[in-house]
Homo-oligomer: A and B are copies of this chain.
Amino acid sequence: MTASQFKSAPEPTLRRLPRYLHLLFRLREGGLEDVSSTLIARELKLDPTQVRKDIEYTDIVGRPKTGYPIEDLIIAIEAFLNWNNTEDAFIAGVGNLGSAMLGYQRFKKYGLNFVAAFDTDKQKIGTQIDTIPVLSIEKLPDLANRMKIKFGVLTVPPQYAQFVAEIMVEGGIKAIWNFAPCQLKLPDDVIVENAQLTQSLAVISRKLHEKKILGSD
Protein backbone atom coordinates (compact mmCIF):
# COMPACT_ATOMS: atom_id res chain seq x y z
CA MET A 1 0.00 0.00 0.00
CA THR A 2 1.89 3.00 -1.28
CA ALA A 3 1.64 6.50 0.07
CA SER A 4 0.19 7.73 -3.18
CA GLN A 5 -2.97 5.76 -2.62
CA PHE A 6 -3.70 8.24 0.12
CA LYS A 7 -3.45 11.17 -2.23
CA SER A 8 -6.94 12.32 -2.95
CA ALA A 9 -7.74 13.36 -6.48
CA PRO A 10 -9.89 16.42 -7.14
CA GLU A 11 -13.48 15.72 -8.00
CA PRO A 12 -13.23 16.87 -11.62
CA THR A 13 -10.48 14.30 -12.04
CA LEU A 14 -12.59 11.55 -10.49
CA ARG A 15 -15.39 12.40 -12.89
CA ARG A 16 -13.10 12.16 -15.88
CA LEU A 17 -11.54 8.82 -14.97
CA PRO A 18 -14.60 6.75 -15.97
CA ARG A 19 -14.61 8.52 -19.31
CA TYR A 20 -11.01 7.47 -19.87
CA LEU A 21 -11.94 3.96 -18.88
CA HIS A 22 -14.77 3.72 -21.39
CA LEU A 23 -12.52 5.00 -24.15
CA LEU A 24 -9.77 2.58 -23.15
CA PHE A 25 -12.17 -0.36 -23.34
CA ARG A 26 -13.11 0.68 -26.83
CA LEU A 27 -9.50 1.13 -27.92
CA ARG A 28 -8.55 -2.23 -26.44
CA GLU A 29 -11.33 -3.90 -28.39
CA GLY A 30 -9.91 -2.23 -31.45
CA GLY A 31 -6.67 -4.09 -30.84
CA LEU A 32 -4.61 -1.12 -29.69
CA GLU A 33 -1.86 -1.76 -27.14
CA ASP A 34 -0.70 1.72 -26.20
CA VAL A 35 -2.38 5.07 -25.94
CA SER A 36 -1.05 8.60 -25.61
CA SER A 37 -2.52 11.46 -23.63
CA THR A 38 -2.74 13.25 -26.96
CA LEU A 39 -5.08 10.61 -28.36
CA ILE A 40 -7.26 10.47 -25.27
CA ALA A 41 -7.49 14.24 -25.23
CA ARG A 42 -8.47 14.43 -28.87
CA GLU A 43 -11.18 11.79 -28.48
CA LEU A 44 -12.62 13.33 -25.35
CA LYS A 45 -12.08 16.97 -26.25
CA LEU A 46 -9.76 17.66 -23.36
CA ASP A 47 -6.31 19.09 -22.93
CA PRO A 48 -3.48 16.51 -23.17
CA THR A 49 -1.76 17.93 -20.10
CA GLN A 50 -4.94 17.56 -18.14
CA VAL A 51 -5.19 13.93 -19.17
CA ARG A 52 -1.61 13.35 -18.05
CA LYS A 53 -2.21 15.08 -14.73
CA ASP A 54 -5.31 12.98 -14.12
CA ILE A 55 -3.49 9.78 -14.97
CA GLU A 56 -0.66 10.68 -12.60
CA TYR A 57 -3.04 10.16 -9.70
CA THR A 58 -3.40 6.52 -10.61
CA ASP A 59 0.32 6.04 -10.17
CA ILE A 60 1.12 4.71 -13.56
CA VAL A 61 4.07 5.95 -15.59
CA GLY A 62 3.97 6.37 -19.30
CA ARG A 63 6.77 6.13 -21.79
CA PRO A 64 7.86 8.94 -24.08
CA LYS A 65 6.87 8.47 -27.69
CA THR A 66 4.48 5.56 -27.06
CA GLY A 67 2.34 6.70 -24.14
CA TYR A 68 0.69 4.30 -21.72
CA PRO A 69 0.05 0.57 -22.10
CA ILE A 70 -3.74 0.39 -22.34
CA GLU A 71 -4.05 -2.76 -20.29
CA ASP A 72 -1.96 -1.35 -17.44
CA LEU A 73 -3.80 1.93 -17.54
CA ILE A 74 -7.16 0.20 -17.28
CA ILE A 75 -5.96 -1.78 -14.31
CA ALA A 76 -4.52 1.31 -12.67
CA ILE A 77 -7.70 3.35 -13.03
CA GLU A 78 -9.85 0.47 -11.83
CA ALA A 79 -7.60 -0.02 -8.86
CA PHE A 80 -7.69 3.67 -8.05
CA LEU A 81 -11.48 3.65 -8.01
CA ASN A 82 -11.51 0.28 -6.28
CA TRP A 83 -13.55 -1.09 -9.13
CA ASN A 84 -11.46 -4.26 -9.25
CA ASN A 85 -12.92 -5.34 -5.92
CA THR A 86 -16.69 -5.51 -6.13
CA GLU A 87 -18.44 -3.89 -3.26
CA ASP A 88 -21.62 -5.52 -1.98
CA ALA A 89 -24.44 -3.02 -1.82
CA PHE A 90 -28.04 -2.62 -0.71
CA ILE A 91 -30.54 -0.57 -2.62
CA ALA A 92 -33.62 0.98 -1.02
CA GLY A 93 -36.58 1.95 -3.16
CA VAL A 94 -37.69 -0.36 -5.95
CA GLY A 95 -39.54 2.18 -8.08
CA ASN A 96 -38.78 3.04 -11.66
CA LEU A 97 -35.25 4.16 -11.08
CA GLY A 98 -34.45 1.48 -8.51
CA SER A 99 -35.59 -1.25 -10.86
CA ALA A 100 -33.56 0.27 -13.65
CA MET A 101 -30.49 0.26 -11.44
CA LEU A 102 -31.03 -3.37 -10.54
CA GLY A 103 -31.47 -4.21 -14.19
CA TYR A 104 -28.07 -2.89 -15.08
CA GLN A 105 -25.75 -5.82 -14.70
CA ARG A 106 -23.21 -3.32 -15.95
CA PHE A 107 -22.68 -2.01 -12.45
CA LYS A 108 -20.83 -5.16 -11.56
CA LYS A 109 -18.15 -4.01 -13.97
CA TYR A 110 -17.94 -0.84 -11.93
CA GLY A 111 -17.36 -2.57 -8.66
CA LEU A 112 -20.94 -2.54 -7.47
CA ASN A 113 -22.78 -5.73 -6.63
CA PHE A 114 -26.36 -5.48 -5.46
CA VAL A 115 -27.14 -8.21 -2.98
CA ALA A 116 -30.57 -7.12 -1.79
CA ALA A 117 -33.24 -4.54 -2.48
CA PHE A 118 -35.65 -3.02 0.04
CA ASP A 119 -39.07 -1.45 -0.20
CA THR A 120 -42.20 -0.85 1.86
CA ASP A 121 -44.62 -1.98 -0.84
CA LYS A 122 -46.06 -5.35 0.20
CA GLN A 123 -46.70 -6.14 -3.46
CA LYS A 124 -43.00 -6.00 -4.13
CA ILE A 125 -41.68 -7.60 -0.96
CA GLY A 126 -40.89 -11.24 -1.54
CA THR A 127 -40.40 -10.86 -5.27
CA GLN A 128 -37.13 -10.79 -7.14
CA ILE A 129 -35.82 -8.29 -9.66
CA ASP A 130 -33.10 -9.67 -11.85
CA THR A 131 -32.32 -12.35 -9.25
CA ILE A 132 -32.05 -9.75 -6.48
CA PRO A 133 -34.59 -10.36 -3.69
CA VAL A 134 -36.82 -7.50 -2.55
CA LEU A 135 -37.16 -7.43 1.22
CA SER A 136 -39.03 -5.37 3.77
CA ILE A 137 -37.16 -2.26 4.71
CA GLU A 138 -37.42 -3.23 8.37
CA LYS A 139 -34.90 -5.95 7.77
CA LEU A 140 -32.30 -3.59 6.39
CA PRO A 141 -30.34 -2.57 9.52
CA ASP A 142 -29.92 -6.03 10.95
CA LEU A 143 -29.04 -7.57 7.62
CA ALA A 144 -26.62 -4.78 6.75
CA ASN A 145 -24.83 -5.28 10.03
CA ARG A 146 -24.62 -9.02 9.68
CA MET A 147 -23.48 -8.89 6.05
CA LYS A 148 -21.16 -5.98 6.78
CA ILE A 149 -22.61 -3.94 3.94
CA LYS A 150 -20.97 -0.53 3.65
CA PHE A 151 -22.58 0.80 0.48
CA GLY A 152 -26.19 1.87 0.09
CA VAL A 153 -28.08 3.20 -2.91
CA LEU A 154 -31.05 5.41 -2.14
CA THR A 155 -33.77 5.53 -4.78
CA VAL A 156 -36.80 6.21 -2.60
CA PRO A 157 -39.15 9.20 -2.99
CA PRO A 158 -37.66 12.34 -1.44
CA GLN A 159 -40.05 12.46 1.50
CA TYR A 160 -38.73 9.13 2.77
CA ALA A 161 -35.10 9.68 1.89
CA GLN A 162 -33.96 11.05 5.24
CA PHE A 163 -35.76 8.30 7.16
CA VAL A 164 -34.39 5.49 5.03
CA ALA A 165 -30.91 7.00 5.05
CA GLU A 166 -30.92 6.92 8.83
CA ILE A 167 -31.94 3.28 8.72
CA MET A 168 -28.98 2.61 6.47
CA VAL A 169 -26.63 4.37 8.85
CA GLU A 170 -28.10 2.33 11.69
CA GLY A 171 -27.09 -0.74 9.71
CA GLY A 172 -23.51 0.47 9.57
CA ILE A 173 -23.59 1.67 5.98
CA LYS A 174 -20.81 4.20 5.41
CA ALA A 175 -21.45 5.43 1.88
CA ILE A 176 -24.81 6.44 0.44
CA TRP A 177 -25.37 7.08 -3.23
CA ASN A 178 -28.37 9.35 -3.01
CA PHE A 179 -30.71 9.78 -5.96
CA ALA A 180 -33.39 11.65 -4.03
CA PRO A 181 -33.41 15.39 -4.62
CA CYS A 182 -32.78 16.40 -1.05
CA GLN A 183 -29.97 17.07 1.37
CA LEU A 184 -29.45 14.23 3.83
CA LYS A 185 -28.48 15.09 7.37
CA LEU A 186 -26.22 12.32 8.57
CA PRO A 187 -23.16 11.90 10.78
CA ASP A 188 -20.02 13.41 9.28
CA ASP A 189 -18.31 10.07 8.81
CA VAL A 190 -20.97 8.92 6.35
CA ILE A 191 -20.07 9.64 2.75
CA VAL A 192 -22.97 10.96 0.73
CA GLU A 193 -22.82 11.41 -3.02
CA ASN A 194 -25.80 13.13 -4.57
CA ALA A 195 -26.43 11.77 -8.04
CA GLN A 196 -29.29 13.99 -8.87
CA LEU A 197 -30.42 14.02 -12.43
CA THR A 198 -31.80 17.50 -12.00
CA GLN A 199 -28.28 18.85 -11.54
CA SER A 200 -27.23 17.54 -14.89
CA LEU A 201 -30.52 18.68 -16.40
CA ALA A 202 -29.91 22.20 -15.09
CA VAL A 203 -26.64 22.42 -17.00
CA ILE A 204 -28.13 21.45 -20.33
CA SER A 205 -31.33 23.43 -19.75
CA ARG A 206 -29.40 26.61 -19.19
CA LYS A 207 -27.09 26.02 -22.14
CA LEU A 208 -30.02 25.49 -24.46
CA HIS A 209 -31.72 28.56 -23.03
CA GLU A 210 -28.61 30.67 -23.59
CA LYS A 211 -28.35 29.40 -27.12
CA LYS A 212 -31.93 30.39 -27.79
CA ILE A 213 -31.44 33.85 -26.35
CA LEU A 214 -28.27 34.45 -28.32
CA GLY A 215 -29.63 32.85 -31.45
CA SER A 216 -32.61 35.18 -31.55
CA ASP A 217 -30.47 38.28 -31.91
Contact B104 A96, beta carbon cutoff 8 Å: yes
| Residues of chain B within 8 A of A83, CB atoms compared | 205
Contact A214 B183, beta carbon cutoff 8 Å: no
A203 touches which of B43, B193, B196, B198 (Cβ 8 Å): B193
Residues 87-108 of A at the B interface (beta carbon under 8 Å) = 87, 95-97, 99-100, 103-104, 107
A201 touches which of B177, B183, B199, B212 (Cβ 8 Å): B177
* Interface size grouping (class) on chain A: 35 or more
| Residues of chain B within 8 A of A203, CB atoms compared | 11, 14-15, 193
Cβ distance A30 to chain B, nearest Cβ, rounded Å: 13
| Residues of chain B within 8 A of A200, CB atoms compared | 15, 177, 193, 195
| Residues of chain B within 8 A of A211, CB atoms compared | 174-175, 191
A175 touches which of B18, B183, B198, B208 (Cβ 8 Å): B208
Name the residue in A110, A191, A205, A208 with the highest tally of chain B Cβ atoms < 10 Å from its Cβ. A205
Among A19-27, A65-73, A120-128, A164-172, which stretch is in contact with chain B?
A19-27
| Residues of chain B within 8 A of A197, CB atoms compared | 195
A-B contact pairs, 19 of them (CB 8 A): A1-B213, A8-B210, A17-B202, A18-B181, A19-B194, A19-B199, A22-B158, A22-B181, A80-B209, A81-B205, A81-B206, A82-B205, A82-B209, A110-B198, A111-B205, A191-B204, A191-B208, A191-B211, A193-B200
- Enumerate chain A interface residues (CB-CB to B < 8 A): 1, 5-6, 8-9, 11, 14-15, 17-19, 21-23, 26, 43-45, 80-83, 87, 95-97, 99-100, 103-104, 107, 110-112, 150-151, 158, 174-175, 177, 181-183, 191, 193-214
Closest 9 CB pairs of A and B: A193-B204, A82-B209, A96-B100, A96-B103, A195-B200, A100-B100, A18-B198, A175-B208, A15-B199
